[in-house]
Amino acid sequence: MTFQINNSVLNEALKSLNRVVPTRTTLPILSCVLFKSDGGKLTVRSTNLEVSMEFKLDAEINEPINIAIPISKILNVTSSLKREDLNFEIRQDFKIKITTKFGEYNIMGVSSEDFPNKTEKIKEGSLSFLTSDLEEIIDYTINSCSTDDLKPALQGILLSFNEAKTTFVSTDGHRLSKVDIEKNGPASKNLILPVKFFKLVQSFLSENDQIDFILSENHAEVFFKGINISTRLIQDSYPDYEKVIPQSNEKRVIIDNKKMIESLKRMSSFSSKKTKQATLFINNNKINIKTEDTESSSSANEEIVCEYEGEETMIAFNCDYLREILEKTLTEKSTILLKDNQSAALILPENSTTPLKKISLLMPIRLN
């Protein structure tokens, strides 16, 4: 079996596929990329059994190709070469010889028989999004996902749709991000998609004007030009997030996002490394922000102006969480709605010009 392919084309595909390959696995085959000829194209695919990615590449294929190759080995070759052509020769004993004008490289391949097959999916519906909208949605929700393996549902983003709107929700128990867009789905449904899937999709959005999500019973996938990304749905129940969204927060604070973000960036380095606590004292159209790290005997305080006419209030937040939320609002100002220093704060963009309705919830840090 032989084929020829441009190195830069293959290398770009392999770098993306490597993001799917698990760093630790009990199945060595998952450390490989499947190379297979398909309709005159070279298909390269990787999977971690949850998320899969596939590229269809132009190549000169002389015989049918079907072999798995360890990605670390082949990336060592492609990443150090430039645009020259690579000539592959695959023997029956799975030994692979790669030749270029500079030299020769020999890699041991693996039988493709053990590589996970693509799951045949029966399409149940689809959702279409403008690239600009989807990019903003992913950017707003992605940081609020949990990294706790004991909470699989929270390691994904909830995609909920009905005849009136589509909603994206993420939470880690400390913060929650929610985006609504007026876009009807194929039927009322709640799906949980892994955050890794959205991160992969996000990296290709700039190359497309519109993105279609193809939905089936247990999978979701998107197609770009020559690229397919698919994922298993997370089979778990998502918490009833509507119950925790405050309905009676009457203390309204309007802040300048840029000034608050810059202040929180500075204050973060003076906060506790464990809690990242910043305490906000709000009164007379001013917010006094204080941080302290007792371990390093460092502290700081700053004052910024705001719009607030209620009684003096004090509340503490993880300053990095608050900054990240404000950075994703994409507006000049935000409204923070408070109840007391033990209840969740609601954060809303002011005067948003996009069709997206965003809200974030942030739990406070208990004051001593």
User: What's the CATH number where 156 sits?
Assistant: 3.10.150.10
- Please tell me whether residues 235 and 252 are part of one structural domain: no
pLDDT tens-digit readout, 85-122: 999 999 989 999 999 988 899 999 999 999 998 877 76
Same-domain pairing of 150 and 172:
yes
Of 226, 243, 260, the position where a domain reaches its end is 243
Classify residue 93 by its DSSP letter: T
Same domain for 140 and 205?
yes
Quick: pLDDT tens for 204-239. 887 667 888 898 888 999 988 889 999 999 999 999
> For residue 277, what are the domain limits?
245-362
Q: 114, 142, 157 — which closes off a domain?
A: 114
Pair (181, 157) in one structural domain: yes
329 in the same domain as 286: yes
Both 266 and 342 in a single domain? yes
Query: In this predicted model, what pLDDT tens digit does every residue of 241-260 receive, in sequence order?
Result: 999 999 999 999 999 999 99
Are both 209 and 100 inside the same structural domain? no
Position 102 scores a pLDDT of: 82
Instruction: Give the pair of three-digit tokens for residue 340.
Output: 């007391």
Strand order in the sheet with 210-215: 66-70, 32-38, 41-47, 51-58, 227-232, 219-224, 210-215, 125-130
In a domain, 320, yes or no: yes
Alpha-carbon distance of 320 to 240, in angstroms, equals 26
Per-residue confidence (pLDDT) for residue 31, from 0 to 100: 96
Clarify whether residues 235 and 145 are in a common domain. Answer: yes
What integer pLDDT is reported at residue 281 of this predicted model?
A: 97
In a domain, 302, yes or no: yes
User: Would residue 44 count as lying in a domain?
Assistant: yes
CB 315 within 8 A of CB 287: no
Which tokens belong to 204?
A: 């290709």
Rounded Cα gap, residues 242 and 78, in angstroms: 49
> Tell me, what amino acid is at 312?
E
| Alpha helical stretches, state H, 175-327 | 195-202, 257-268, 319-327
75 and 164 housed in the same domain: no
Note whether 238 and 295 are same-domain residues.
no
Average confidence (pLDDT) over 150-163: 93
Greater model confidence, 308 or 82: 308
The answer to whether residues 135 and 72 belong to one domain is no
Task: Give the model confidence (pLDDT) of 29-38 as tens digits.
Answer: 999 999 999 8
pLDDT at 53 over 90: yes
Burial (CB < 10 A; 0-12, 13-18, 19+), residue 304, is middle
Domain membership of residue 90 (yes or no) is yes
335/210: higher pLDDT: 335
Answer with the one of 243, 271, 295 that is the final residue of a domain: 243
Number of H helices, E strands in the chain: 6, 25
Sheet holding 166-171, edge to edge: 189-194, 156-161, 166-171, 175-181, 357-362, 345-350, 333-338, 251-256
Over residues 167-195, the pLDDT tens digits come to: 999 999 999 999 999 876 677 789 999 99
What would the mean pLDDT of 279-296 be, rounded to a whole number? 96
The pLDDT assigned to 366 comes to 92
How much is the pLDDT for 368?
65
| 44 pLDDT above the threshold of 70 | yes
Average pLDDT of the residues of the chain: 93
Residues 234 and 296 reside in one and the same domain: no
The span from the CA of 356 to the CA of 280, in Å, is 29
Check: CB of residue 279 under 8 Å from CB of residue 291.
Answer: yes
Residue 25 lies in a domain: yes
User: Does 312 reside within a domain?
Assistant: yes
* Number of domains observed in the structure of the chain: 3
